[in-house]
């Protein structure tokens, strides 16, 4: 099976099984036109995360890594009027493009974009007593993934859903040599997955995906209530 076939099936599924969504298509196109890297989630995954947020009855979402606001927009639509999405982005230019896209989609008033290194901006959220969030999506610099998961747990309640993207990386997730081109990202992902499996507060899974963006995957976990003393 070739990558062309994965891609063709992906296109077929999106065209056939997903209700057309002109607003998110516009945001994807505008993001590419603005010259931002085309590394947003695929349409099928954006839709899935919107559905997950809806299934969870989410009113508040925290996102690490905004880019042009494509995934942000799926969450903003899912939380409904009065819901909020807080999204953390390092690059001012990305935040600017996202702001324009979300405003154009009529969802800007639901979205707060915090510009800066996410480790710092998420700490500000923790210090200011923000949260708990209903859904957290971790999709920024993967090297920091385990740190972002720790921060996410501080902003969670039992029932919070935590999603982590790009956990397979064309199979490189198995490479623990520390020598590959994206070794720091792989190490961050491996630490994240290990934490998800080990931490008694987390109960999750991880799935491989193939499609137009090649071979990758995502992790999904729910935060469990843990008796004091059990979490350690
Ligand atoms: N979630 C977006 C989507 O699916 O539409 C894609 C996000 S893209 C994969 C990753 C983003 O994280 C980029 O916009 C990048 O600038 C941002 N980023 C990288 N390092 C960061 C950091 N330390 N803090 C916050 N954002 C960072």
**If you ran DSSP here, which 8-state letter would residue 142 be given?**
G
Q: Give a yes or no: residue 189 inside a domain.
A: yes
Quick check: 88 and 122 in contact, CB under 8 A?
yes
**Candidate from 46-60, 64-78, 217-231 with smallest mean pLDDT:** 217-231
Q: Using DSSP, how many helices (H) and how many strands (E) does the chain show? A: 8, 7
Kindly state the tokens that stand for 144. Answer: 């920091």
pLDDT, the chain, mean: 96
Statement: residue 1 has pLDDT above 80: no
In a domain, 116, yes or no: yes
**What is the pLDDT at residue 228?**
60
Q: Residue 231: pLDDT above 60?
A: no
Residue 219 lies in a domain: yes
Structure confidence at residue 4 (pLDDT):
94
ipTM computed for the complex: 0.99
Atom of ligand 1 nearest to the CA of 36: 14
Over pLDDT 70: what percentage of the chain? 97
- Quick one: pLDDT at residue 186? 97
What is the reported pLDDT for 225?
87
Distance (Å) from CA 35 to ligand 1 centroid:
15
**According to the model, what pLDDT value does residue 232 have?**
47
Classify residue 148: in a domain, yes or no: yes
What is the domain range of residue 38? 3-223
Residue 99 and residue 53 in contact, taking contact as beta carbons nearer than 8 Å: no
Residue 135 included in any domain: yes
Binding site membership of 165 for ligand 1 (Cβ less than 6 Å): no
From the CA of 93, how far away is ligand 1's center (Å)? 12
Question: Looking at the 3D structure of the chain, how many domains does it have?
Answer: 1
What CATH number has the domain bearing residue 91?
3.40.50.150
**Tens digit of pLDDT for each residue in 107-155?**
999 999 999 999 999 999 999 999 999 999 999 999 999 999 999 999 9
Q: How far is the CA of 64 from the centre of ligand 1 (A)?
A: 7
Query: pLDDT per residue over 20-46, tens digit each?
Result: 999 999 999 999 999 999 999 999 999
pLDDT value for 144: 98
Asked whether residue 229 carries a pLDDT value surpassing 70, the answer given is: no
**Is 107 domain-assigned?**
yes
Pocket test for ligand 1, best of 65, 88, 105, 117 (most atoms within 8 A of CB): 65
For residue 56, being part of any structural domain is answered with yes
- pLDDT at position 61: 99
d(CA 11, CA 136): 27
The 3-state secondary structure of 211-224 reads ECCEEEEEEEEEEC
Residue 189 has pLDDT above 70, yes or no: yes
Q: How confident is the model at residue 226 (pLDDT cuts 50, 70, 90)?
A: confident
Report CA(39)–ligand 1 centroid distance (Å): 9
Whether residue 230 lies inside any domain: the answer is: no
Residue 125 CA to ligand 1 center (angstroms) comes to: 18
Task: Identify any residues that bridge with 222 across adjacent strands, giving them in sequence order.
Answer: 161, 203
Give the pLDDT mean for 214-228: 90
Look at residue 92 and tell me whether its pLDDT is greater than 70.
Answer: yes
């Amino acid at each position: 099976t070739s990558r062309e076939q994965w891609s063709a099936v992906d296109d077929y599924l999106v065209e056939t099984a997903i209700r057309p969504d002109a607003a998110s298509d516009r945001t994807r196109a505008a993001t590419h036109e603005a010259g931002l890297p085309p590394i947003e989630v695929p349409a099928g995954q954006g839709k899935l995360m919107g559905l997950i947020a809806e299934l969870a009855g989410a009113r508040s979402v925290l996102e690490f890594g905004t880019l042009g606001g494509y995934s942000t927009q799926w969450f903003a639509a899912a939380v409904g009027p009065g819901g909020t999405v807080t999204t953390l982005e390092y690059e001012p230019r990305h935040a600017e493009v996202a702001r324009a896209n979300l405003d154009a989609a009529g969802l800007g008033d639901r979205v707060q974009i915090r510009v800066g290194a996410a480790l710092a901006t998420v700490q500000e959220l923790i210090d200011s007593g923000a949260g708990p969030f209903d859904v957290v999506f971790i999709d920024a610099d993967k090297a920091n993934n385990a740190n972002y998961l720790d921060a996410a747990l501080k902003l969670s309640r039992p029932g919070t859903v935590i999603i982590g993207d790009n956990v397979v990386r064309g199979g490189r997730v198995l490479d623990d040599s520390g020598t590959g081109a994206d070794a720091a990202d792989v190490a961050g992902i491996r630490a994240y997955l290990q934490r998800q499996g080990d931490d008694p507060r987390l109960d999750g899974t991880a799935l491989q995906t193939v499609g137009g963006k090649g071979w990758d995957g995502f992790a999904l976990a729910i935060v469990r209530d843990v008796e004091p003393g059990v979490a350690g």
